Amino acid sequence: MIERMKADFSIVFLCARLKVSVSGFHAWRKRPVSARAERRWQLSTKVLNVFVDSSRAAGHRKIAATLAADFGVHANRKTVLAIMRDLGIMPPAARAAFRRAAARARTTPDPGDLLERRFQDTVEPGTVLVGDITYVSTGQGWLYVATAIDLATRTVLGWASSKRQTAALVITALSRAIATGHVRPGAIFHSDHGTQYRSRRFMMFCARAGIRRSMGKNFECWDNAVAESFFSKLKNERLRWHRFTSRHAATREVADYIRYFNDRRRHQALGYATPAEAMAHLTRTTAAKAA
């Protein structure tokens, strides 16, 4: 990044902005560039260009959507956000949101990470759920989809969709998961640090429902890899082939895929069983152990 932008800015300024030493930059220039670093630089360049083209107003979600629509680059929105933070190019609304989030964190600390990426250690259904939010482009605007997925069986126990991503959206997804009867008292719900999951409404809902909240590190998508993986499958296996004229049409397609995902899609992580088969088997096994 510094190498490509040094024609427009001084090396000292760029190093200070990216929080690297000048001597470290010169040492880096002498080393061969890895393929991963080159891909990161190419993505950073596209992110910067889209941000500038938007008159410095686009946030990470709109930039990720623009990259996919205009360049065919399907970048994780959290990766885009991390790049924007590294470059110091946050839109005014995002800066205000981060200030509000920081102020809230000083009074109400976020919960710790109760999973620490030990996704394979959970073998009892209903003890750990993971959740996240994604968005789907439609002719009426964005459709936001939230999920609550059982970690042991990969079953999508609850989900919800809305034209707005609010605390109510994630509360609805989790409440529908609880309504299935598969969520045990004291279960863990793991998510990222999205404002919906950090809201007081969601915190109070979890407290009333006896759900323990868990969050990974900021901007570490691998800390919530199972939830991210489901959305990747949803988009790559189904949604990418459609152009939705309405949010209602997109919601129907999401619902149809979730039924397929739960009942018919076989998973390597489950020994090529479906989530429904894994849920039935592990529920019987757990009941037999308790007897």
Domain segments of the chain as ranges? 2-98, 119-290
Q: Which has the minimum average pLDDT: 120-124, 182-186, 259-263? A: 120-124
Q: Looking at residue 31, what is its pLDDT?
A: 61
C-alpha 199/C-alpha 168 separation (Å) is 10
Q: Looking at residue 17, what is its pLDDT?
A: 59
Q: Looking at residue 15, what is its pLDDT?
A: 66
CATH homologous superfamily for 119-290? Ribonuclease H-like superfamily/Ribonuclease H (3.30.420.10)
Q: Looking at residue 211, what is its pLDDT?
A: 94
Mean confidence (pLDDT) of the chain? 83
Higher per-residue confidence, 194 vs 253? 253
What is the per-residue pLDDT across 213-251, written as a single tens digit (0 to 9) for each?
998 766 455 557 888 889 989 999 999 888 999 999 999
C-alpha 276/C-alpha 259 separation (Å) is 10
Question: What is the mean pLDDT of the segment spanning 193-200?
Answer: 90
Q: Looking at residue 92, what is its pLDDT?
A: 66
Q: In this structure, how many other beta carbons lie within 10 angstroms of the beta carbon of residue 133?
A: 24
Question: What is the mean pLDDT of the segment spanning 133-141?
Answer: 91
C-alpha 288/C-alpha 6 separation (Å) is 66
Q: Looking at residue 99, what is its pLDDT?
A: 62
Backbone conformation region of residue 116, classed left if phi is above 0, alpha if psi is from -120 to 50, else beta: left
Q: Which of 52-66, 127-141, 223-237 shows the highest mean pLDDT?
A: 127-141
